[in-house]
């Protein structure tokens, strides 16, 4: 069969100021595309965010090009991947597809619909089926013409009723997957020099997944629902093959390892570092990875630095032990401080990710987080508002308490988020949050951004001119709100 795979947009208001999403290639659907192609199916990938940027933010033209791309291969199946903040565009695209050809099969997948399969079908009559969990082999069954009622991992409608088949077991042999079909993506577009993937270093960068799954049970995270709790790894040799392809074909300068559990297996990590140096990748690219503070030690960090790593990323989330416990982080504040200290002493930079506004957070907890940030002084801070994601423990808790949750468009959009789950008045929380962005996050981020990009002033000034529009808009809004309170 012919299959179009679509990566949807954020809400229109958020798309106009969000500058980050356009640099991340949609590897999830690229993996699906690779499996389909390997089995003889014709596939194209349509990234609506890329279309929007290439058409000067003209939404109508992006819609027309989406339709034209589907028609270009006369698609039998249209698969739309999506997260919670993009689900409205999933519904919108499904309607466009069906209005042009009601016989086309429209399928959606991703973390959001895995958590809410039946409500997705109830909310959108234009969707025929929902792929729950990993989509490679469920989509392959669909493209091979298997009847819906025989396909594991599928929720579907039939004659006005909704049926859910048994879950599909997670496949274990990660190396049996072909490399993601990046040849179907405009990699020149994604690898433009930017500060996003390379965490404030202006490099031609891209992302890679070398593992799936996470054994931890953070109450705010929906990852294990989608990828499972058992960590499944690509072999170090397979990872080297993919990295060499990225260097040779796309001339990347930076690489971000996007999985949650990059170095949880220390034996694998050591082999990885050895191969990185053996292949001289440490001389060709800089790389970045997410780590948990409870697994790092100085030896591991020194190995990473020696093999070309320049920055790691920690989910500190809070400087309050009480909030960390409520989140189910299973880590101590002291351990986070220790990890920050040994990371800095190793010569690696680090980013600190923070979630604020978590249910039950008090002003005292908030202030502890600010003190923590000034104590550990990350090179980059990502300050995020808590967003209740379907499929998470905290989302379930809020629903059980009959607490209101925001519309899907608003989730993930700090500029449009008017819900307050913190244990303080909304106006007070909003004021603390804005003050933190202006007086803590902005100065630290801006200082290190300029410091680490002075060696390439042309790129630095180009980036300041082209990639800080969203930051400027948010800063003006924050200042306006603070002055009018």
As averages over each run of 10 residues, the pLDDT of the chain (485 residues) reads 97 83 94 98 98 96 97 97 93 97 97 96 97 97 98 96 97 96 97 87 93 92 90 94 97 94 82 94 96 92 96 97 97 98 97 96 98 96 93 93 80 66 92 92 87 75 63 60 57
Pairing mode, strands 129-131 and 154-158: antiparallel
pLDDT value of position 474: 60
Nearest one of 338, 272, 266, 354 to 307, comparing CA atoms: 272
- 28-51: per-residue pLDDT in tens? 999 999 999 999 999 999 999 999
Please say whether the beta carbons of 139 and 38 come within 8 A: no
Centre a 10 Å sphere on the Cβ of residue 345 and count the other Cβ atoms it contains.
11
Tokens linked to 266: 């220390």
pLDDT value of position 25: 96
Tokens linked to 356: 């604020």
Under 8 Å CB-to-CB from 172, ≥6 apart: which residues? 232
The pTM assigned to this predicted structure is: 0.92
Distances (CA, A) of 316 to 18, 335, 353, 355, 357: 24, 10, 6, 8, 14
Tokens linked to 48: 């609506």
pLDDT value of position 44: 98
pLDDT value of position 467: 56
pLDDT value of position 176: 96
pLDDT value of position 412: 62
Pairing mode, strands 161-164 and 129-131: unpaired
Nearest one of 35, 14, 137 to 86, comparing CA atoms: 14
**Which domains are seen in the chain, by residue range?**
2-164 (3.40.50.280), 191-444 (3.20.20.70)
Measured distance CA(266)–CA(296) in Å, rounded:
10
Cα 128–Cα 131–Cα 133 angle in degrees, nearest 5: 165
pLDDT value of position 446: 86
Measured distance CA(51)–CA(63) in Å, rounded:
9
pLDDT value of position 20: 81
């Amino acid at each position: 069969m012919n299959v179009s795979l679509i990566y949807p947009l954020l809400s229109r208001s958020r798309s106009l100021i969000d500058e980050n999403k356009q640099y991340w290639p949609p590897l999830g659907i690229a993996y699906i595309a690779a499996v389909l192609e390997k089995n003889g199916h014709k596939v194209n990938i349509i990234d609506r965010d890329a279309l929007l940027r290439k058409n000067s933010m003209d939404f109508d033209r992006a819609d027309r090009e989406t339709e034209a791309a589907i028609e270009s291969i006369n698609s039998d199946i249209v698969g739309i991947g999506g997260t919670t903040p993009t689900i409205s565009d999933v519904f919108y695209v499904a309607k466009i597809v069906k209005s042009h050809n009601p016989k086309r099969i429209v399928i959606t997948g991703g973390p959001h619909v895995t958590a809410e399969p039946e409500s997705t079908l109830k909310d959108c009559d234009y969707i025929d089926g929902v792929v729950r969990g990993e989509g490679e082999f469920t989509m392959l069954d669909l493209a091979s013409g298997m009847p819906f009622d025989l396909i594991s991992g599928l929720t579907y409608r039939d004659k006005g009723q909704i049926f859910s088949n048994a879950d599909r077991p997670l496949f274990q042999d990660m190396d049996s997957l072909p490399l993601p079909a990046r040849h179907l993506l405009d990699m020149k577009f994604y690898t433009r020099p930017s500060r996003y993937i390379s965490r404030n270093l202006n490099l031609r960068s891209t992302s890679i997944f070398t593992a799936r799954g996470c054994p931890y049970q953070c109450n705010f995270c929906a990852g294990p629902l989608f990828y499972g709790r058992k960590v499944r790894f690509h072999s170090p040799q397979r990872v080297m093959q993919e990295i060499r392809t990225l260097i040779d074909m796309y001339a990347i300068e930076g690489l971000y390892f996007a999985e949650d559990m990059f170095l949880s297996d220390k034996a694998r990590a050591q082999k990885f570092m050895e191969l990185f140096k053996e292949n001289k990748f440490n001389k060709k690219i800089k790389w970045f990875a997410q780590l948990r503070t409870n697994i790092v030690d100085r030896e591991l960090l020194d190995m990473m630095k020696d093999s070309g790593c320049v920055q790691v990323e920690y989910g500190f989330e809070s400087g309050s032990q009480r909030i960390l416990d409520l989140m189910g982080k299973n880590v101590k504040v002291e351990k986070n401080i220790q990890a920050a200290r040994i990371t800095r002493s190793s010569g690696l930079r680090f980013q600190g990710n923070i979630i604020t506004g978590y249910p039950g957070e008090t002003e005292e907890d908030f202030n502890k987080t600010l003190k923590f940030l000034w104590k550990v002084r990350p090179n980059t801070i990502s300050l995020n508002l808590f967003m209740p994601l379907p499929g998470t423990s905290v989302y379930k808790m809020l629903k059980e308490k009959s607490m209101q949750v925001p519309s899907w468009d608003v989730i993930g959009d700090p500029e449009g988020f008017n819900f307050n789950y913190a244990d303080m008045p909304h106006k007070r929380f909003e004021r603390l949050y804005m003050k933190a962005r202006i007086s803590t996050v902005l100065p630290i981020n801006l200082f290190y951004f300029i410091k680490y990009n002075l060696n390439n002033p042309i790129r630095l000034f180009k980036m300041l001119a082209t990639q800080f529009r969203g930051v400027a808009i948010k800063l003006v809004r924050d200042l306006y709100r603070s002055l009018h309170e």
